[in-house]
Amino acid sequence: MESKIDIRTLSVDEIADILKKWDEKPFRAKQIYEWLWKFSVRNFEDMTNLSLELRQRLNEYFEIRGLKTVTTQKSADTTIKCAFRLFDGKIIEGVLIPTPTRMTACVSSQVGCSLNCKFCATGYLKRERNLDAGEIYDQVIELNKVAIENYGIPLSNIVYMGMGEPMLNYHNVLKSVEHLTSEQGLGMASKRITVSTSGIAKMIMKLADDNVKFNLALSLHEADNIKRSAIMPINDSNPLEELQTALQYFYSKTKNQITLEYVVINNTNDSVEDALNVVKFASKIPKVKVNLIEYNPIDNAEFKASDIKKMERFASILKEHDVLAVIRRSRGKDIDAACGQLANKTK
């Protein structure tokens, strides 16, 4: 017999078509779909409102490729990092970030990454493949369990800021968001979800045309084309002018929150001139917010974090020019779980 199909790659209509050939009632497809995406079952045997015969037949032809948590590390600041093994043995990482007001899951969208950002540990890994929608969804399920087990509080927010570039896995990222937000899935609010991109202009515009409901974050990190290309090669094909136009278009179509993420690196992107460049870039994007993020050292690069005084000076310059800026302190540095540090060290 040929290898089994992962049933979670099928739509509810495709499941219904198969059940029709089996002379099963059409409503069974919706029941199966809800078991998969609303109740997150990983065994056909657990679909207790289906007949034993149907469950056996499903098990004969299909499988449910769940991921497994292989390691869990807890930071001194309460951040928790999990390494997940996928069905083919590949490893990805996800992070739970608790704060007084939020319980956030940071999830990955690819195994590795192809963009080679110089300050990011994941950028030094080979991109092996995209994650499918179920693998992204499963990270949320597992991190929600971790949140409840450790803090007694379920997830409130999801950020696609882990390993990989979400816009290079566009279909699966949007499909995973659909499962997380639909009534047949987890029913989470779209405004509680933020998808981050290193900056692929045409895909940002596609998000706008697809009328997505979630928030968007751009990993900016430099607002001068020459300097940005030096640390983010993706800028060669997606220069700042194109990104600015794409973000303007995104906001005009969706009115969704846009955040500019800016990792502040000592003597690299933390000068007064750098701050004024950010002002110039941000001032043409409506209701934008800038997150100034403490740089986290990685093994493959010699960059260093700017001190807090430089970060505060940078923030002050933005605020003086009416650009909303917030300084974000790193979480999970001691377990390599902070921004830019995910590199599968725990496998």
The pLDDT value recorded for residue 347 is 40
The pLDDT value recorded for residue 123 is 77
| CATH-assigned architecture of domain 68-335 | Alpha-Beta Barrel (3.20)
Q: Show which residues are catalytic.
A: 93, 339
Which CATH number among 3.20.20.140, 3.40.50.1950, 1.10.150.530, 1.10.3720.10 corresponds to the domain 5-63? Answer: 1.10.150.530
In this predicted structure, the answer to whether residue 85 has a pLDDT above a threshold of 60 is yes
pLDDT tens for each residue of 156-200: 999 999 999 999 999 999 999 999 999 999 999 999 999 999 999
Can 5-63 and 68-335 be said to share one CATH topology? no
- Which two three-digit tokens encode residue 90? 């590949």
The pLDDT value recorded for residue 3 is 81
The pLDDT value recorded for residue 81 is 93
Angle at CA 234, nearest 5°, toward 208 and 309? Answer: 95
What ranges do the domains of the chain cover?
5-63, 68-335
